[in-house]
Amino acid sequence: NFFGWFWWRDVQRMARDDFKAYCSGDAGWHALPWINCVACVEWLLLACLFGSMITAHVDCELFFALRNAIHPADHEQVRTDRWRTDREWCNG
């Protein structure tokens, strides 16, 4: 019974005692057809999450590269404006 409290111990015992049936899917979780469907959906979900993470990384890299290429002077001005004193701000 894989739906009881100590299911992991039962899975380990089955893997130890009948490893061929465990690996081929004749026994254990993968003997249930819906578990195989859930496992495939899980791998699809992981692939989508990894793909979206890579896409977001590339999108951020492109955004920062284009921002610095279009307005490099503005970016430098912001950096120097941060360290002005109050008198310099008032005098222009």
**Could you report the per-residue pLDDT of 62-91, keeping only the tens digit for each?**
888 887 666 655 555 555 555 556 566 566
Question: 12-50 pLDDT, tens per residue?
Answer: 887 788 777 777 777 767 777 888 888 889 999 999 999
Residue with tokens 């899980």: 42
> At residue 32, what is the residue type?
L
Q: What number of other Cβ atoms are within 10 A of residue 15's Cβ?
A: 14
Q: Are 64 and 37 in contact (CB under 8 A)?
A: no
Q: How far is CA 54 from CA 10, 40, 42, 57, 68, in A?
A: 39, 21, 18, 5, 21
Collapsing DSSP to helix, strand or coil, 6 comes out as coil
The verdict on pTM exceeding 0.75 is no
